[in-house]
């Protein structure tokens, strides 16, 4: 089992979709929301994912395929 901390960003057309609920249903992943904000144009959720690493990777690929942006916590780590 492993844990991963990520940030999901939802554009306004995706805010109403229960992506986090479905992530927990479709994959063997426990989701734990720590911080979130939903505005007019965009919403974001910072959460911890608990599960087997390959399962988390599959889950994150599915989240990305829905159009939700998946980023590491704390913004981009690659700097110029």
Partner 1 sequence: MAFVNGLKCRECGREYPAEPLNVCDFCFGPLEVVYDYATISEVISRDRIEKGPLSIWRYKDLLPAEADDPVDIMAGFTPLIKAKGLGKTLGLNNLYIKNDSVNPSFSFKDRPVSVAATKALEFGYETIACASTGNLACSVAAHAARAGIRAVVFIPSDLERGKIIGAAIYNPVLVAVDGSYDQVNRLCSELADDYPWAFVNINMRPYYAEGSKTLGYEVAEQLGWRLPDHVVVPAASGAMFTKIWKGFNEMACLGLLEGVEASPFGIDQNTVHHPAVTTAMHMIQAEGCSPIVTAWANKQTQVIAVRPDSLAKSLAIGNPADGIYSLKVIDNSGGSAYAVPESNIVDGIKLLAETEGIFTETAGGVTVSGLKHLAKSGAIKPDDLTVVYITGNGLKTQEAVEGVVNPLYIKPSIRGFEEAFTGGK
Binding interface with partner 1 (CB under 8 A):
4-5, 9, 11, 34-35, 37, 39, 41-42, 44, 46, 48, 60, 69-80
**Closest CB to partner 1 among 29 and 60?**
60
Q: For residue 14, which of 63, 76, 71, 75 has the smallest C-alpha distance?
A: 63
- The β-bridge partners of 50 are 3, 30
| Nearest to partner 1 of 25, 79 (CB atom) | 79
The three-state secondary structure class of 48 is strand
What minimum distance in Å lies between the beta carbon of 34 and partner 1? Answer: 5
């Amino acid at each position: 089992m492993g844990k991963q901390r990520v940030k999901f960003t939802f554009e306004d057309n995706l805010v109403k979709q229960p992506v986090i609920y479905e992530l927990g249903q479709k994959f063997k992943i426990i989701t734990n929301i720590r911080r979130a904000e939903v505005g007019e144009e965009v919403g974001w959720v910072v959460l911890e994912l608990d599960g087997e690493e390959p399962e988390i990777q599959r889950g994150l690929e599915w989240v990305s395929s829905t159009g939700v942006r998946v980023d590491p916590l704390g913004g981009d780590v690659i700097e110029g």
